[in-house]
Structure formats: structure tokens, C-alpha cells
Amino acid sequence: MANKLSINLNGKRQKIQTINGNYIQNEIYYSKDLTPEVLSNIPLVLPNLASYEFLSDRLVLKTPMITGDSVYEDSSISSSTRIDVINKYLKIIEKFSVLPIFLQINLMRLENFYLTKGELIHRGVLIVEDCQFNYPFTNEHVLKTISFFTLKIIHNDPALINFENYFKNLDTQKKTVLEIIEDIKKIYIRDLFHEKKFTSKAPKRKMKSKFKNINLTFAFSIVLFVFFLIGSMFLINKANTDDLSDKPIIKIEEKKENSSYILIDKSFSSKENTLIIFKEWNLYEDGKLIQTENGDIFTFLPIKDKSYKVTFKVKDSNGAWSEEMIKLYSLKDEEAYDNLNNLKISSAIFTDKEFKDGIKSIDINASNKDFYINETILARKVNISFYVKSSTYQSAKIMVTGYHSSALEAKSSKEIQLQKNTWQRIDLSMEGNDISKIKVELEYEDGDVFLDKISLTSSKE
């Protein structure tokens, strides 16, 4: 992750102010990342720039104030307008390619664009940030930024399903902005352009038939028989060759608010030029069907001690049904769940008398002030967080140590002030290679201390 600097827009790194209510003056001060050579490219590509001046210690930019409306929240915009906005966006950001990637990404972000009188406009102001980081940005980060912007513009427009699928997978490809522009031209032509074919009628000519004596009824019967035979063979062959790739793909996003479940449909067709036209949600309580809906969002509130089953399937414009998705829920089982069960913890004493979430916590007492988390964490940087609670106000020291086999790989510690009968979150991080076991240890004076809701994350950065 980047080490994000604190952005003080009125400080020594950058100063932004309005002039006469009509212009924005942006002063970017030179640094090891923002040298005059780097900043000299900015006036060449910054849209709507009124004037600029290089001084001894900074670049001064003046840009007219631009306001407008958010384009991606307006569901009434036509599909062709959305494509025009995306094309305009790509043509604007293509000019940013001469800048360092971290400056490109800052200029490409969604908040820099407005829709003014139907025209996509860049505000032309650069906010300098993310100049120092542990790893460099790559073209993948640029593609992710483009993908985020365009998916917001598409806004689940069903007519643009193929554009949506393209931009969802964009960050996995090696593309330039110019290549993306060419790709979406091809999708546009294939999906939205329909060629009309015109034929002229040839003059009728009288011809003598050499088959006057053939029984026309018999001939018609033969042709009809061959037609039905070919049609039957085609249907049999199609039934034998159909597979899952011809069916719509089920995709569900699940959320939970308070005790209610919210299921959001994100399904799509696996075939080009095919849309999802029908959705079927069914909710069963203790095996009995109690609710059926057909919308994009399905919500329900489970009752304790009852079991629930949700089934869902969709149909596309070709009449093909998806596979049926089945999800099971039980409020009783969920209440008995504890995140400590997800970790392989040893040398710990558990108690069900105190806990932050779930049904238990780890009891840190005078005779047992440490325990181990046995995990396989192959990434370089490990973050560990948990909640701690004390029966008294007191100072304490928390230490985490990472091991690979029996060799010490990494260590981190933190001095904290424990609050009486209050759960507080603790976050620590350490860096090492192939950490497979973590020791958690607390030093404190007296009283009872409890630890709960442990979570581990790791990354290569």
C-alpha cells in the first residue's frame, strides 16, 4: 500500500485558492518527485488551462472554475450518450500518458469530471498526492481507474452489457488507452449498428417448364417432409450440444443491514446481444414457500430458530434459463458463530463470560499471558487487529512475533492504555518472509484482560 502523505492545500507542498470567484490558482512546489522537468509536462496536457508560470520554487497554474452535474447517477441518460461520455473521457485521459502514473491517476479520477450542457468537462485542477510509496504504480492501476470510471458511467445499462463485461475485466489485460478506444469501437459497431440490406426485384420472365407432368402435390409433400426432417435433426443436435456456456451466469452480491439480508442481482448473459429479461426469487421458511419476487433486489428478515432457503434463477432474451442458485440461512447458527473459530489458536484459555462478538473470547490472565496463531501466511507484510478489554484502568504492552518454522522472522509491539470495561481496537503490522506462526503476548500489572475478534490480513507490498 502507498504511504499516503497528508495533503495540506495551504502549505508548502501545494497551495490552492480561488481568485475573484472565477479562477482557481494552483501552486505546486518543487520536490524530489515533482521536479521542474516533471511539472513542465503538466501545462501541455491539463484541460481548460487559462495560464501558467514557472517560478524559482513552484509552478503556478490558473484554471477557470467549472461546475456541472454528476453523470453516472442519472439513469435517464441514453445508451448512446453514455458511450459518447466514455469516448470523450478516453480522449481526454489519453493526453495524460506523458505524466508519471501517479499524476495520471490523480487526473483520471471520477471527481475531476463534470457534465456541463451535455458535454463531459475536466475541471483542470491537479491535486498532488501519493508522491511517496513503497512500490511504484503500474499500468494495472491506470486500467483499474479507467474501469471504475466507465462502470459508473454505464450504470448497469442493460443495452451496454458487453461494454460492462469488457471494462469489468480491463485491469487483467495489457492495454493502452488508444487500444481501449479501438476496442470499444468494435463493440459499438457489433452491438448497436445494424446493416440494412436492400434487394431489387428482377423482371419476371416467362419460362416453359420441363416438369409439367410432375404431380405438384406429391412434390410439395416430399419438400415438406425433408424440411421437418432437417428441423428435427437440428433440434436434436442443439439439445445434445447445449452446455452451461449457453446459459445466463448467476452472480449475487450479498449485504446485511441490522438483521435483514439484502441480495442484489448482478447476473449477465454468456451470449453476445442477449439480455436478462426475467428474474425469479423464492424464499422458503422451514421448507414452505412464503415469498416470490421478480426484482433486482431481494430482502428478507429471518426469525430466530427457523431455517431459510433462497432460490434464484434468471432467463435471457433467447429463452434460456440459468442454473438455480440456492442459499441457506439460519439465525440460530449465525448467532453461535465466532470469528475465533476461523483461526488455529493454541495455548489460549477461552471464556464465554466476556466477548466482543460471537460466543467467546480469549482470557489473558496472570498465568497465561500469551498464545499462538498457527497460520500459513506467505505474503511479506502481515497486519493483525483485535479488540482488548480490561477490568481496570492500566498501562499495557502488546507484542506480536512472527515465526517461520522455529526461526524468528518479524516482530512488532505497541504501548497502550487499557480502559476499564471498554473494548478497544488494536492494530499492529510486521514484515517478514513466509510467516507460519504468530505469537501474541501482553504485559500488564493486574486484573482481567480479554481479547476477541482477531483478524489477519497480508500483502506482498
pLDDT digits (tens, 9 = 90+) for 294-331: 888 888 878 777 888 999 999 888 888 888 888 888 76
Task: Please give the average per-residue pLDDT across 282-290, as a whole number.
Answer: 89
CATH code of domain 339-459: 2.60.120.260
In DSSP terms, 119 is beta-bridged to 116
pLDDT band at 194 (very low <50, low <70, confident <90, very high): very low
Residue 243 has a pLDDT of 46
7, 127 contact by CB (below 8 A): yes
Residue 161 has a pLDDT of 86
Residue 204 has a pLDDT of 45
pLDDT band at 397 (very low <50, low <70, confident <90, very high): very high
Burial 285-303 (b: 16+ CB within 10 A, else e): beeeeeeeeeeeebbbebe
In this structure, what DSSP letter does residue 6 have? P
Average the pLDDT over each of 138-147, 258-267, 375-384, 420-429 and give the range with the smallest value. 375-384
Q: And the C-alpha cell for 400?
A: 506480536
Residue 449 has a pLDDT of 92
Phi and psi angles of residue 115, each rounded to the nearest 5 degrees, phi first: -105, 105
Residue 398 has a pLDDT of 93
Share of the chain above pLDDT 90, in %: 12
Q: Where are the alpha helices (DSSP H) in 193-271?
A: 216-241
Please tell me if the domain spanning 252-335 has the same topology as the one spanning 339-459. Answer: no
Return the amino acid letter for 30. Y
Task: Please give the average per-residue pLDDT across 1-8, as a whole number.
Answer: 43
Give the 3-state secondary structure of residue 167.
helix
42, 62 contact by CB (below 8 A): no
At 333-386, the pLDDT tens digits run 555 567 787 778 888 888 888 888 878 899 988 778 889 888 666 667 888 889
Give the class (CATH, top level) of 252-335: mainly beta
Indicate the domain borders of the chain.
Answer: 14-190, 252-335, 339-459
Residue 399 has a pLDDT of 93
Task: For the chain, give the mean pLDDT.
Answer: 78
Alpha carbon separation from 338 to 175, 360, 370, 418, 438 (Å, rounded): 44, 7, 20, 24, 20
Q: Flag whether the pTM goes above 0.75.
A: no
pLDDT at 247 over 60: yes
